[in-house]
Structure 1
């Protein structure tokens, strides 16, 4: 197979875009020169995997870096570059890359063997820890292997419990690889063939209008993220989310909070901050110690349907209680005390405010401009995104991503950041300076 060559993007023949596209082409060329081993790894992997990976979200143009190892808050690629990690494995890696506590827990567990085919000593410990943490809405809990699975199981439970089929979801939402509603994300869909009804997020009137068009008494569940993380870290307004609670009660439907990622924004999840009690909550990622993990829990009368003696719902999964995740999860939840979680989210909130202030200072005050800058930050606590608007938005986002890489900072190519327990105020100060340099370099394009 011939190596895949990296060609520059064609220059867009539109005034105002042309120079930015030329700049991006040059950045891609330099990136290719600076990362020959990552390019080699990419070309080699393309022989056996479409796009050289099995995970669409980690693709980056012109090709993704290949990481060789991680240590604490840093990543090291195959070309020998060091990066300060602000992605934290899209929130799953909140403990950093080498927690000695989690490592010891896994090693000790593996010394006793694995793949038992029955209960093990760790799953009860993890279940108790998580039910205590999410006691606002969880009486009972079930484990699975991913957030996708957790949401699928929650929806299955809701449809069976209510005897109805329609599921209300929201534009720009993401609930896993089979429940993706991001605007214009793909021409085709891999979504599960459920009765999804899509309403506008943070729009009470628009949501009520959509529901009013449904047949009476046909809504089984409302599935919502209290903050749309993959959809740009857009927080749900408290009025909107409270309305969904009322709507679910009125419609005799179940309110499902997808807290796969937002569960780290408060000790009991973002629902505690908001003062809202869903019927089912789904969690994942970091709660399994950074290993493959998902879970769903809720009101006793719903989750008890999974009791084998009930004869109602079956829920299989060879690795639902796998030793590595169970042991890592127990250790990780012990690390993630309420105090440490509060400190992490305070660090994120302060950092996000500092970014917003830098944008305002550089692009509004100093220029005397009343126009909204084309760079802005959205999110809550330790989860946020640096975003771009306007016709040049996509190009500016790529330029920003590569600017950070050049300066030894690693985030998601879409601009998403998830702080870890290893990130410090000094790290944030360093990144803030790199962001300020980017704004100075592209000031005219960002206004």
Structure 2
């Protein structure tokens, strides 16, 4: 049987079983079409044949309106790092609401929270901070500030980057394919992620004094949990210094990987850092901060950069954020990263044992590093930098710490990804359709084992078809 036919048949069966199990969710989804396009108001949550509708949540579990309870390994795409019922955040929010909300003025909570954020993230580059309502808003405002400050137009961004719904740069777009996007009309300059030589050439070909900003994630969350190399991040810092552009580091997701953010952990300092997700205690929140001389331009008394926002200092996010930063302290950061490291190594051990990884990969602690190219195919390199994969494994896991992503390669990668998603759901495990699993503090060793067992079962069931994809490692 041809591989394509095999996997398409498996997916068809998975859809049928899923539909039979989730009749109430199917009905809710269909009725929602009357008022929501496609029954949806958040594209990333769509799944075929329809998404599950949730009724309640507690700790690290979700319960559907069909009455089934799932282990939640999606963690609200990183915003849900505290789980679904952290009592200390609930108490903080309730206490804030006792005194009313929507003041239309300043409050003490924003001042207290700003102090905590600056103290926490100063090693990343945040000396002063301003709040927004989302990570998307933080990134769009940071870019607008860079253009206003430098009086330049060009913004260097990278393949597979995602900085919010209006700042999306999928590889398909980079390759010239038509992708339905709603990006802001900035003068973006695309460069290949992690590729030092090609990025240098692209920057060298820009007109002098034209680069306003470099916008980069130190690990691409939506792009498949692809970590940047230290050498690449150092290049971007040097490029900003040389050209006079501002280095904007998007830590909306990645800040969870270090007490003061991932870039502080790896030793690179940004001009502007953007935050979001868990930093606001899991509430609607974003922030941008950076060098004092840059951020002081937002001082209203100096009348330079205008930055309003009705909910920038709302009492719910401010109060939740204060509590959340106390909960997610250095000990919690390291513990959660260790949980992720354990999960990743156990998954890779299965992929090695079952022959899904090429024989040259023998250690479950290995990292697969991706170096994009606009001149050829993406290079998949083992983290010793001495071995490159001629073809990526048909199934593999990327990421670091508590941000992980099981992925597939080849022409049928998207179909395999969908099959794996339904495989997990059938075992009462909830993940992103793209295989993303940002862990929450409520994830236990038992939850990890449940997921690892599901991966083993998947590989043992489909390993023969997976291994049909050619694999070869080469020394470089």
In the superposition, the TM-score normalised over structure 1's length comes to: 0.94
Show the counterpart of 1:49: 36
Structure 1: which 5+ runs fail to align?
1-13
CA offsets 1:86-137 (integer angstroms, 9 cap, x no match) = 0100000000000111111111111110000011121111111111110110
Which position in structure 1 is the counterpart of 2:56? 69
- The structure-2 alpha-carbon separation of the partners of 1:365 and 1:204, relative to structure 1 and needing over 3 Å to count, comes to closer
SS at match of 1:442: helix
The answer to whether residue 203 in structure 2 is matched with residue 183 in structure 1 is: no
1:173 aligned to 2:161? yes
**Structure 2, unaligned runs of 5 or more:** 363-390, 468-476
The equivalent residue for 1:141 is: 129
Match of 2:463 in 1: 443
Give yes or no for contact 1:281–1:297 (8 Å, CA) kept in 2. yes
For residues 51 and 362 of structure 1, the distance between their equivalents in structure 2, rounded to whole angstroms, comes to: 40
Matched ranges for 1:43-442 at <5 A? 43-136=30-123, 137-184=125-172, 187-363=179-355, 373-442=393-462
The C-alpha deviation readout for 1:183-237, integer Å capped at 9, x for no partner, is: 2376232001111111000011111121122211100000000011100111001
Query: Which residues of 2 match residues 15-26 of structure 1 at below 5 A?
Result: 15-26=2-13
Match of 1:443, SS state, is helix
Residue 198 to residue 82, structure 1, CA distance change in 2 (3 Å) = same
Give the TM-score normalised by structure 2.
Answer: 0.89
Contact 2:240 2:247 in 1 (8 A): yes
Task: Return the offset for 1:15.
Answer: 2.6
- 1:316-351 deviation line (CA, Å, top 9, x unaligned): 000001111111111111111111111111111121
Which residue number in structure 2 is paired with residue 4 of structure 1? none
**In structure 2, C-alpha distance between the alignment counterparts of 1:274 and 1:363, rounded to whole Å:** 33
Q: Provide runs of 4+ in structure 1 moved above 4 Å.
A: 364-372
SS in 1 for 2:28: helix
After superposition, the Cα gap between the structure-2 partners of 1:368 and 1:242, relative to the gap in structure 1 and judged at 3 Å, is closer
Matched-pair contact (CA < 8 Å) for 2:134–2:284: yes
Contact 2:79 2:282 (C-alpha < 8 Å) held by counterparts = yes
Q: Using the alignment, how far apart are the partners of 1:368 and 1:91 within structure 2? A: 33
RMSD of Structure 2 on Structure 1 (CA): 1.7
Aligned residue for 2:407, secondary structure, equals strand
Q: How many residues align?
A: 434
Cα deviation per residue 1:157-178 (whole Å; 9 max; x = unaligned)? Answer: 1111111111000011000011
